Chains A and B, each alone.
Chain A
Amino acid sequence: SSELTQDPAVSVALGQTVRITCQGDSLRSYYASWYQQKPGQAPVLVIYGKNNRPSGIPDRFSGSSSGNTASLTITGAQAEDEADYYCNSRDSSGHHLGFGGGTKVTVL
């Protein structure tokens, strides 16, 4: 299964920029997708592919990738962005899926 590594927690001041990273060998071959999860709710897809946002996701969310690292950037973080964020991708075989351990984002 996919082995993706995320920092457990990060904090950002209101209105500032935060970058969340996801590392894994499979990311050299496959894009990561990113999910936002607020307490008691199901995850919501926020970024996928090279840098695609589903309808309804604010443009302050963006994605990028370099080598074995995928990143989710929130530019001008808002209080409502406080949540857990999970990356997801295929494993190196391309046949199975997996999630990173999640990053808790706190907006100060």
Chain B
Amino acid sequence: QVQLQESGPGLVKPSETLSLSCTVSGGSISNYYWSWIRQPPGKGLEWIGYIYYSGSTNYNPSLKSRVTISVDTSKNQFSLKLSSVTAADTAVYYCAKLARPAWVFDYWGQGTLVTVSS
């Protein structure tokens, strides 16, 4: 059973870079796609982007200029960086496994709340 766990600072200052990691356990990160999704408090889900274990990426066009997703297969981890954050980036950030060819998120982390505030 694949398990995912997000980690990173819960508080980030405006204009700084949000950095999160997702550790995958119970299976290898290789040969699969991995994604980040966020949910502002009281609002809906927003897909941020995904990465293949080889390093190829695809981002939500609305966030593309500020997002970088990377993978470290030696640590069975993938990471998210979101630059120039504002209060609008305050959200619960989820990492998830993206199953293809169905293009569904079949495993999710528990989520981590990141607040952008000075």
- Interface residues, chain A, with chain B CB atoms under 8 Å away: 1-2, 30-31, 33, 35, 37, 41-45, 48-49, 52, 54, 86, 88-90, 95-102
Contact = CB atoms under 8 A, between A and B. Distances in A.
Contact of A97 (B62, B94, B103, B110): B103
Contacts of B15: none
Interface string B44-66: 11110010000000101110000
B33 to A, nearest CB: 11
B34 interface: no
Contacts, number: 63
A64 B106 CA distance: 19
B88 interface: no
A32 to B, nearest CB: 10
